[in-house]
Structure 1
């Protein structure tokens, strides 16, 4: 503010000290010296100057603006100017351009311009402010052939560090809002040389267009990618990772394929299709992409857990690596086995079933294993042992189950179900028990029948002749 007052005083003193003839040599005027605008607008005033003197002259253009962050300059003939030649008796026109700032408060603001020693006050009336709003950055990224580059990262920085990261659209363009300030940008894209812009200023309510930025492809560049880099698989399976390999360089290239950081006893193979043959290298022309399948082969005794490793495509000129993770989980499986599933017993006897339980899963632990017997009413069962606390993968336990039918059982076929339960899962088996009459009952029957026939024979002998 003090500098503004000082400038006005100096300007007034200089003008008042000049001879009257010097002061009256020029006539400067503007038909519309007051304009209405929004904060952030650019306002243009058409100014005419007449040389009323008798000699030609070159006159310097100056301005005094009371708003610190407004820009004022002069244009004529499509160029910025700061001096004006006016022949004696002639006139010249130029444009005074005033770029207002977006955060200017509502109000009227004078701007004084001077041509030689003559001055003219112009007025800008701000009727709407954009204080607190942002400015906009736009640009377009193309390659050396002029083709739009999609997916290029535009990393925007200021003095404090990175501010924003924006990717270009299919048209190679970005449009991003930023706070007022000074910035610079870096253009990054796989397969291309990085490009840094010049510093630029973002103004409130205005668009800063950096125009077209050209980035150049590298001679050699390979990229490996995978849409699903984390897979969950069961122990005993050989999972497949579906990859894409792209030659983004300007030259054709051949790449060797490897997987590293796998456990030593694990295997792997690269294939061009899910059921294709194993390959160890691949040739890809410039600009083309191929599908690859990476099959991981864990051993059957692999432990459950997460395994991270790296897929690598390498040539003498370029290399790309890709982090992948395989999570192995165990398979819960229980097998039960008995040497016999059908038993024959006599009345008064019991049936003894031998049942072996195997943890046939992989990488899993079965806990609290116990048999449960479902038999007809009146039957009872004894189990030894009653339970097993745990079974590791591949371990087994044998249960002895004694089935005792009731004393008054009728000879017939009976179904008994034995269910093996654990905290994780359960299995069951059915057994057929055939109960037959005892041999003593058969003898008793024969004797009874013989007694009956003997009695009939006696009665017939005694009373038959009568």
Structure 2
């Protein structure tokens, strides 16, 4: 009876010893578990938006949740994106820092968005030992490798003797410093100069992503006509260029002269006859003249007519031929007379004073000779008839 009870008890003790042995062996062979990192990276803005060429700054907190000071190695993972970056603390580049237990240190990450970049979301990571902070940048527009030349006021108005001055901004939206040659495609006689600050220049240097203000002075020629003129401006080099067109609206000046083709303002006429004089009506201004009427102020008994008497229009710088028909009084005595001719329009009036010499008619000369002959013949007849007595 005692032997029968001891066998089951022995088996139970053996099984208990076996289980304890396996458990102890398992604990002995188990590998140590690594402690979780006590450092945490934090920023409130995990994704920001920016255009090409812009810079973004992330403020990142390095938090030590541990019970002792932690020495933290900082790194930046571009995840294959070739962007320029800088990690700074206290205004200087930083790659390692110490954080006291329960304390926080701040670092700044500056990311420079390239100019030549596609629109979309780009991902990066900031790492500190075992901690990792994912961040992203949403590029808001398609980037380009280009140059821009713009002005807020591309058109101006002035007189022919004015200087038209434009302020232009040259932007270098490329990844490197550029030297631009400046040029203008103006009509002959126009003078275009470029100024950078106080210096007259033909080329300028602009840093990558930078801009420069350029003054453009446009001087029209003295003979310029009224109208709107376009002046193409270029800033260019072998790799990139930009164009800008400015406008100069030249207001007209009015000028009018009345003369003859040889500028001789005198003629002669026989009393009672007429003389045709060629006149020139010239528009010496830069604006067209319209509705020119020709009139005359004459001595009493004289008449002047014009062919044509009215000119519809005379273009700037052009000359129109007119004929003046001067008819003297048949009773006019020999001598000099003054005839005032006038060309008048809405905008301008011109006058010319003609000296007209009146000559005695040849017919009267022959009549005088005939009278003299008759008188001489009469005297001769009387002498022959009464002289013998």
Q: TM-score, normalised by structure 2?
A: 0.44
Q: Larger radius of gyration, structure 1 or 2?
A: 2
Q: TM-score, normalised by structure 1?
A: 0.37
